[in-house]
Amino acid sequence: MVLIMAFFGFFQAFFFILTILFLIATIKEHHYPAFMRGLCVFGVIFLIGSALIYFEYPYKFFIILSANLILLAGIVLIIFPTTSERLNIPGPQLQIDERDAFFHRFYKIQPGTPEFEAYYKSHPEKHKVDVKIRAKPQLCALNSKSYHPLISPFQLALFDVLEGITREIDWQPTPPENKPINVSPEMITQQLKEMAAYLGADLVGTTRLNKAYIYSHIGRSSGKWGEPITLNHDYAIAIAVEMRHEMVQQAPDNPTMTETGFQYFEAAKIAMILARYINFLGYEARAHVDGNYRVMCIPIAVDAGLGELGRLGLLITPRFGPRVRLSVVTTNLPLQPDSPIHFVCRIFVLFAKNVRSIAQVVLLQRVKKKSMPVWKNGSVNRKIAIISGVHRGQIVVSV
Query: Which of 331, 355, 379 is at the close of a domain?
Result: 331
Domain match, 297 and 371 both: no
Residues 116, 99: Cα–Cα separation, whole Å: 11
Q: Which amino acid is at 366?
A: R
- Residue 252 falls inside a structural domain: yes
Domain match, 212 and 309 both: yes
- Residue 228 falls inside a structural domain: yes
- Domain of 69? 2-79
Domain match, 220 and 283 both: yes
Domain match, 360 and 219 both: no
Domain match, 234 and 300 both: yes
Distances (CA, A) of 208 to 212, 268, 339, 390: 12, 21, 10, 21
- Residue 139 falls inside a structural domain: no
Mean pLDDT of all residues in 249-254: 82
Domain match, 160 and 281 both: yes
- The predicted-structure confidence for 156-215, as pLDDT tens digits, reads as follows 999 999 999 998 899 999 998 889 999 999 999 999 999 999 999 999 999 999 999 999
Query: Which of 55, 79, 103 is at the close of a domain?
Result: 79
- The pLDDT value recorded for residue 208 is 97
Domain match, 227 and 292 both: yes
Domain match, 215 and 314 both: yes
Domain match, 175 and 40 both: no
- Residue 235 falls inside a structural domain: yes
Query: Which of 48, 79, 110 is at the close of a domain?
Result: 79
Domain match, 160 and 301 both: yes
- Residue 353 falls inside a structural domain: yes
Which range, of 8-12, 33-37, 343-347, averages the lowest pLDDT?
Answer: 343-347
3 state SS for 107-152: CCCCCCCHHHHHHHHHCHHHHHHHHHHHCCCCCCCCCCCCCCCCHH
- The pLDDT value recorded for residue 238 is 98
Domain match, 326 and 180 both: yes
Domain match, 282 and 364 both: no
- The pLDDT value recorded for residue 56 is 84
- The predicted-structure confidence for 9-30, as pLDDT tens digits, reads as follows 676 777 778 788 888 888 876 7
- The pLDDT value recorded for residue 83 is 53
- Residue 117 falls inside a structural domain: no
- Residue 241 falls inside a structural domain: yes
- Residue 90 falls inside a structural domain: no
Structural domains of the chain, count? 3
